[in-house]
Amino acid sequence: MKAQQERKMKKEEDESLIFYLKKEVEAALLRTDSLEKENRELRQEVVRLKAQITSLKAHDNERKSMLWKKLQNPFDSSKTQVFQQKQSDSVKVSERSVEHSSPRPSLQELAARKEKQAKVPNPPPRPTSVAPPSLKEANDNKLPPPPPPPPNMSSGSKAVRRVPEVVEFYRLLTRRDAHMENRTNSAAVPVVAFTPSMIGEIENRSSYLSAIKSDVEKQKEFINFLIKEVESSAFNDISDVKPFVKWLDDELSSLVDERAVLKHFPQWPERKADALREAAFNYRDLINLESEVSSFQDNPKDPLILALGRMQALERSIDNMERTRESMIKRYRDFQIPWEWLLDTGLIGQMKLSSFRLAKVYLKRTTKELQLNDCSGEDNLLLQGARFAYRVHQFAGGFDAETIRAFQELKKIGMDSLKQ
């Protein structure tokens, strides 16, 4: 009897322990899910910030280059004026006297003359979203007209449906060789290098500092006008943002150093100005990217690595845009910048349809190469094809019928090779 009671007590203790451990496991799983979600959000934020930093660095380097040229021009102008003065003196020496000869203007006077030309701002371009831009105007602006709205993604031959096999096949291969997932960093675009010593030399020039001080004092009305225009700017169509940004940059280029001068105006809406620039550049880049993807042609004569590399570069650009899309929509909406083109019903939707073409070309090229090589030693190529299909599938929300057939051909070869 006593033994039964002990066994019963032990069983109850075990059950209590199991129940406690289950609760601990559930709590641990909830914490893990929460941390994974937070990690994903942080990764997206890092990608967005890196893209913004790259854009701002390029803009800053462009401004520094313009500044360097501006500082060089007064000296060149001075030399030219001296040369012209000597020529004039040699021709008209008998007609001039010492009392009537004018002295050569100083560097500060030249800067002052230049300042006077920039005091009256040009009016900003007004939105023209009522009528769509003509093809000629779009070509003149080096920006193609926006593509037509995407067709219904659930009708006709372009019917799109999810293909679970794509995800399963990709995960099968990644589990088989986890080390294949390593990604290579894209080559960084070289930028103009401005060493600290060069920047220090520029900032120490008295003419540079006096020109900044002069702009701050004499261009207040001009800058306040720009502040008002940027703060009150609102657009119905993203195509109107690009000419406004061009106008703003042209106006600011009259300052000796945009950032050095504007930091003396705390009311300058820097975040909105940067968001306007970013939106204009991203819209232009997305249109160009969609055009590249939709018109991509694979040349069978190109080496395999070159051909696949070109397609992977396009896909990476698509992926970067998709990663930052939600944060861009929120930021643009806050600053009254058109953001609808980032929705699936806008340019992004058109990009999704165009990505099918890229996936088909990639899968067919990969399948053909695997067939020619009898799959021997081509595990990495097979994984690349599966990864490419998976990424496009996740971005577009599925495949159309033609892309599904191209994937099935690759999968058949892959499954046959796994059986060997």
Read off the pLDDT of residues 230-287 as tens digits, 9 standing for 90 and up: 999 999 999 999 999 999 999 999 898 898 999 999 999 999 999 999 999 999 999 9
Q: What is the pLDDT of residues 187-232, one digit of tens each?
A: 444 444 555 555 555 555 567 788 888 899 999 999 999 999 999 9
pLDDT score recorded for residue 156: 39
In a domain, 401, yes or no: yes
* More confident call, 8 vs 181: 8
Give the pLDDT of residue 208: 79
Mean pLDDT for the stretch of residues 29-50: 78
d(CA 285, CA 55): 12
Residue with tokens 């899910």: 33
Confidence check: pLDDT of 44 > 50: yes
Q: Which domain holds residue 329?
A: 281-418
pLDDT > 70 in the chain, percent = 66
Does residue 343 lie in a domain region? yes
Is 364 inside a domain boundary?
yes
In a domain? residue 293: yes
Residue 143 covered by a domain = no
Distance CA 283, CA 289 (A): 10
What is the predicted pLDDT for the residue at 28?
79
Q: Return the pLDDT at 240.
A: 93
Q: Give a yes or no: residue 174 inside a domain.
A: no
Question: In whole angstroms, what is the distance from residue 171 CA to residue 191 CA?
Answer: 39
Please enumerate in sequence order all residues whose Cβ is within 8 A of that of 246, keeping only pairs 6 or more positions apart, or say none. Answer: none
Give the pLDDT score at 287.
92
Please compute the mean of the pLDDT values over residues 402-420 and round it to a whole number. 86
In this prediction, residue 69 carries a pLDDT of 65
**Phi, psi angle pair for 161, to nearest 5°:** -140, 155
Report whether pLDDT(22) > 70.
Answer: yes
**Average model confidence (pLDDT) for the chain?**
75
pLDDT at 94: 40
Across the range 1-17, mean pLDDT stands at: 69
Question: CA–CA separation, 39 vs 198, rounded Å?
Answer: 40
Residue 161: alpha-carbon gap to chain centroid: 29
> Minimum mean pLDDT among 7-21, 26-40, 107-121, 402-416: which range?
107-121
Please determine, for residue 173, whether its predicted confidence score (pLDDT) is greater than 60. Answer: yes
- Of 212, 200, 198, 258, the C-alpha closest to 111 is 212
Whether residue 119 has pLDDT greater than 60? no
- SS3 breakdown of the chain: % helix, strand, coil, rounded to 5? 75, 0, 25
Inside any domain, residue 395: yes
Q: State how far the alpha carbon of 217 is from the alpha carbons of 105, 109, 207, 400, in Å.
A: 22, 16, 15, 62
Strand boundaries in 339-395, DSSP class E: none
Q: Is residue 110 over pLDDT 50? A: no
CB atoms under 10 Å from CB of 338, counted, come to 20
Per-residue pLDDT at 344: 87
Look at residue 154 and tell me if it is in a domain: no
Question: Do 228 and 98 meet the contact criterion of CB atoms below 8 Å apart?
Answer: no
Query: Is residue 134 over pLDDT 90?
Result: no
Q: What is the pLDDT of residue 178?
A: 58
Please count the structural domains in the chain.
2
More reliable by pLDDT, 204 or 63: 63
> In this predicted structure, which of 15-24, 41-50, 55-64, 143-152 has the lowest mean pLDDT?
143-152
* Alpha-carbon gap, residue 300 to 94, rounded angstroms: 78
Length of the chain: 420
- In sequence order, the 6+-apart residues with CB closer than 8 A to the CB of 304 are 365, 369
DSSP type of residue 399: B
Structure token digits, residue 382: 């097979």
